[in-house]
Amino acid sequence: MQLAGVSDQQNAEKVIGTTAQLAIYSKITVSKNGQPKPVASSLLVTGRDISNNASVGQNQLGQTVVNINFKNKEKWASITKKYLGQDIYTFLNGKLINAAQARFRIRSN
């Protein structure tokens, strides 16, 4: 996961090291002021579903990414299967930080 507006590892660690509300949705809408807003009924997972061992790293392009693990790996595997080829949206404290297409099913190994 890439954090919008966070370009270095130290800032990314600061962002994920604070108490925050993370939520992943399957649908968004646009508010009157033009900001993306999650559709409440499309909530897939929250920060409570994530284990405490998140880490910050870099992908093959040198971009900062946050690696997370889910407590219920079967649930995430089911979500990535159901939404394969569709966008999913990650919000942190109510702000859209990532919009990504589920390109493959993540298995629950």
Task: Scan for tokens 């870099």, then name that residue.
Answer: 58
Domain residue ranges in the chain:
9-101
Report pTM. 0.74
Is the pLDDT confidence value at 18 over 80? Answer: no
Range list of H helices, 1-109:
9-16, 73-82
Altogether, the residues listed in the chain come to a count of 109
Residue 106's closest CA among 96, 82, 90?
Answer: 82
Beta strands in the chain (DSSP E): 22-25, 28-30, 36-38, 43-46, 55-58, 64-67, 87-92, 95-101
> Average pLDDT for residues 96-102, to the nearest whole number?
92
The whole-chain average pLDDT of the chain stands at 85
Count the neighbouring beta carbons within 10 Å of the beta carbon of residue 56.
20
What's the CA gap between 82 and 80, in Å, rounded?
Answer: 6
What's the pLDDT tens digit per position in 38-84?
999 999 999 899 888 788 889 899 988 888 888 888 998 999 999 99
Class of domain 9-101: alpha beta
